[in-house]
């Protein structure tokens, strides 16, 4: 083990983040700095460039730009509003009805779009004013919107599950998709429980009564949007197409749906494509630099060092899983989800599979639920920033009402971690 290389890696990464260098560049530069102390300059540059380029040569990664484009089409195509109206029909009359609507709409939109940020923006911009009009406090509205926006990352189709499949060496994407349903729904129900208790104590009003005919119309209006989940996941399970092919089908379906809803015009397509390209560029750069850093960490034997360190502290599987979760919670506070998955999967996956006997599918869901908490936690919580920006709220005003939601998410994480059958039930049901 090269101690100097590890020191350079950690200190350079922390330094670049501290001075405000974007995460993707911080990862790439720290990987390069580490290689420079282990190689000559020319091999370091060429090796890192080669690792970044070859790391992106994966057919599965083609699904990411397609799902990003599908998310952009949904965000502009009026789907969010129809899902909100559908959620009102389903849960709007419960105590604290609009809080429940916010959670359910985020679960549906996040699952369909595969983006927590898009979900927080689309649902927050619509639900925020409605909740304020009904007497809900702004900080509570932002808190429940931000935390529930992350639930869609576990419920398929999900870009981050595709990234985990890549980082884990080829775990079945279809199996990961199946495994995400129950944990994602459990998280949403836990957030609803917290929101319902809070709304009851604050005596927030019930949602408005929706006449039967209007309710039926809202339900029927939402069916085409909800059918995307059936088409994509059903097609993958039935073997009609792969996850990558499903992402392309999702784009075509969303485009047709947006034109049917008359929410998108032909003139809007160039702007949607530009946004997609920008987002894809950022995500792919994160993936490329993270893959480069993962190789450097492997070269410096960091995964083996961490494994030996954890096993030397305890041989109890409960304690080891708890320590891994605590490390990931800490990592999620300071690092975006995509690089965290790519960097820490090769470190922890060998430990939990060989030493603890965990299924790689189960561990993938544990990672996603864990890092979801970091997305709505300062200082690097991207979904938190988006939610606060949409509501024009300061982050410090939102943290206190978010604490009960954090606790709910952590409780679900612990349940999923220590009861594998909850996660693996659906994959086993479909033969994975």
Segment 124-134, tens digit of pLDDT? 888 888 888 87
DSSP state of 206: P
| 134 within a domain of the structure (yes/no) | yes
Confidence at residue 422, expressed as pLDDT on a 0 to 100 scale: 94
Q: What is residue 207's predicted lDDT score, i.e. its pLDDT?
A: 67
Nearest to 8 by CA among 39, 53, 50: 39
The pTM of this model reads: 0.84
Q: Is the peptide bond before 157 cis (omega within 30 degrees of 0)?
A: yes
Q: Supply the pLDDT for residue 163.
A: 87
The answer to whether residues 369 and 154 touch, using CB atoms and an 8 Å cutoff, is yes
Q: Does residue 19 sit within a domain?
A: no
Tokens of 259: 């034109």
How far apart CA 278 and CA 169 sit, in angstroms, is 27
Which pLDDT score is estimated for 168? Answer: 87
Q: Tell me, yes or no, whether 118 lies in a domain.
A: yes
114 Rama class: left (phi>0) / alpha (psi -120 to 50) / beta:
left
Note the residue count of the chain.
Answer: 432
Residue 37 belongs to some domain of the structure:
no
Residue 41 has a pLDDT of 56
**Domain-embedded: residue 55:** no
pLDDT confidence of residue 196: 86
Low-confidence stretches of the chain (pLDDT < 50) are 1
Under 8 Å CB-to-CB from 22, ≥6 apart: which residues?
none
Give the chain's domain count. Answer: 1
Q: In whole angstroms, what separates CA 185 from the centre of its chain?
A: 14
- C-alpha–C-alpha distance, residues 201 and 155, integer Å: 30
- The answer to whether residue 174 sits within a structural domain is yes
Q: Residue 135: its pLDDT value, please? A: 82
- pLDDT for position 169: 82
Full domain range(s) for residue 210: 60-264+300-429
What pLDDT is stored for residue 40 in this prediction?
60
Specify if 36 maps to a domain: no
The confidence score (pLDDT) of residue 412 equals 96
């Amino acid at each position: 083990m090269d101690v100097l290389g590890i020191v350079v890696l950690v200190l350079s990464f922390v330094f670049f983040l501290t001075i405000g260098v974007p995460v993707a560049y911080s990862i790439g530069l720290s990987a390069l700095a580490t290689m420079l102390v282990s190689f000559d300059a020319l091999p370091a540059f060429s090796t890192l460039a080669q690792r970044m380029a070859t790391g992106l040569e994966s057919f599965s990664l083609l699904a990411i730009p397609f799902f990003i484009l599908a998310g952009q089409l949904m965000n502009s195509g009026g789907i969010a509003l129809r899902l909100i109206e559908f959620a009102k029909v389903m849960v709007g009359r419960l105590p604290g009805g609009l809080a429940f609507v916010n959670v359910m709409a985020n679960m549906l939109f996040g699952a369909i779009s595969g983006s927590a940020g898009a979900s927080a923006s689309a649902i927050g911009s619509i639900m925020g004013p409605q909740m304020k009009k009904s007497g809900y406090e702004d900080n509570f509205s932002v808190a429940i919107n931000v935390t529930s926006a992350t639930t869609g990352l576990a419920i398929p189709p999900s870009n981050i599950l595709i990234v985990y499949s890549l980082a884990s060496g080829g775990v079945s994407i279809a199996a990961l998709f199946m495994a995400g349903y129950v944990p994602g729904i459990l998280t949403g129900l836990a957030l609803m429980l917290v929101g319902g208790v809070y709304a009851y104590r604050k005596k927030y009003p019930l949602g408005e009564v929706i006449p039967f005919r209007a309710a039926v119309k809202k339900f029927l209006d939402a069916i085409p949007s909800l059918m995307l989940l059936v088409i994509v996941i059903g097609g993958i399970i039935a073997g009609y197409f792969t996850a990558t092919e499903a992402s392309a089908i999702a784009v075509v379906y969303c485009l047709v749906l947006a034109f049917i809803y008359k929410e998108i015009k032909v003139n809007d397509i160039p702007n949607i494509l530009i946004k997609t390209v920008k987002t894809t560029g950022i995500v792919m750069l994160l993936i490329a630099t993270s893959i480069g850093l993962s190789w450097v960490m492997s070269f410096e034997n960091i995964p083996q060092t961490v494994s030996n360190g954890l096993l030397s502290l305890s041989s109890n599987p409960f304690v080891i899983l708890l320590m891994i979760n605590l490390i990931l919670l800490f990592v999620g506070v300071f690092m975006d989800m995509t690089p965290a998955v790519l960097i820490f999967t090769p470190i922890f996956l060998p430990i939990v599979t060989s030493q603890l006997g965990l299924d790689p599918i189960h561990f993938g869901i544990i990672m996603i639920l864990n890092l979801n908490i970091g997305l709505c936690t300062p200082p690097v919580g991207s979904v938190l920033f988006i939610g606060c920006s949409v509501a024009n709220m300061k982050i410090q005003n939102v943290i206190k009402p978010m604490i009960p939601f954090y606790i709910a998410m952590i409780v679900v994480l612990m349940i999923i971690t220590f009861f594998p059958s909850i996660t693996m039930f659906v994959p086993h049901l479909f033969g994975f």
